[in-house]
Amino acid sequence: MTIALAAALVVGVLLYTLFIRAQDVPPPEPVSPLAHLEDRKAVIYDNLRDLQFEYRVGKLSDEDYQRTKISLQKELAVVLGEMEETAKRLGLATKKSAPASKASQAAPVPNTCPHCGAKFPQSMKFCGECGKAMA
Ligand SMILES: [Zn+2]
């Protein structure tokens, strides 16, 4: 009798979990597919600012600063790429919609920021130092 009750309880919990809960849980897809990417971008920019701050107050060595900065910039490049792809997939124009021909008329040194002059080991869409769009 006890086993039957326990079994019934288990079945009840399983049914609850599988059927009732699944309906109650909102769909995982965010309202805007770009929203979570925007969030990630904001977090990376925050991290870059924090990193610069810690470097300026002397908490970080040059080596640590450069290494962390580069890894954050790579992460940022990935997020920005994903945002662009998502926007394209949705048929949306990005806020700063650049003409397709822009690459051909780009500055000769694409990995140097035209705003603050910071240099990066790879081509970036946005400057990791000042956050402005790079050519
Ligand atoms: Zn810059």
Three-class secondary structure of residue 1 per DSSP: coil
Residue 129 CA to ligand 1 centre (angstroms): 5
Rounded to two decimals, the pTM is 0.45
* CA of residue 134 to ligand 1 center, whole Å: 8
How far away, in angstroms, is 72 Cα from ligand 1 center? 15
Q: Write out pLDDT tens, residues 69-98.
A: 999 999 999 999 999 999 888 886 555 555
Average pLDDT over residues 12-38: 68
* All residues at 6 or more sequence positions from 51 whose CB lies less than 8 Å from its CB, including other chains: 60, 65, 68, 69, 72
